[in-house]
Amino acid sequence: MNELELTAEGEFVVRESKITNFIFGGAMLAVFFVSLFFGDYGWGNYLMGACIFLIPGAIAIAKGRRNTTIIRINKTGVYYAGRLVTDWNRFYDAVVRDKMQAGSYNDNFVLDLRYYAFDYSLLCTESIPLTNTQDKGEEEIIEAISFYKNLSKELAPSQAEGSLSNNGW
């Protein structure tokens, strides 16, 4: 496993994996076109094949071309889908957990970010789904959160004295 290159002025970005989306989309399109050219199934089955293979394949390739930023972590805080979830002064903790569903054998990892509300009266939780098509793993995300949280403590010790600590009141 390669070492993360985290810097104070840089940022950690989690995006959709281009390679995974292109492979998935290409495979779906290949199955559709092979069945289209080598099968004689009737129009109803062609329409069903388009719904099952053509449309998801095209969506996967479009997602691969867009390369959307999902999570951004930097010295100001944690961003999800382009909006600030929490800054480091209000951050409490982050946990990756497997959200179990009855009858499901798939991994369903979720990043739970807990942070204080603006007046520090309430502890809020934002659950961010971690999909299999993202280009960074769960361990790397937690490592980046830890790095930038510790960096914020070093950069602003005067601000940290006036705020609530994670240990209590």
CB 75 within 8 A of CB 155: yes
Q: What is the pTM of this model?
A: 0.75
Enumerate the domain spans of the chain. 18-66, 75-160
Give the integer Cα–Cα distance in Å for 99 and 109: 6
- SS3 of residue 73 by DSSP: strand
Residue by residue, pLDDT tens for the chain (169 residues) are 456 788 888 999 999 889 999 999 999 999 988 888 877 777 777 788 888 899 999 999 998 898 889 999 999 999 999 999 999 999 999 999 988 877 777 778 999 999 999 888 899 999 999 988 888 989 999 999 999 999 988 876 544 444 444 444 3
Give the integer Cα–Cα distance in Å for 167 and 169: 7
165 DSSP 8-state letter: B
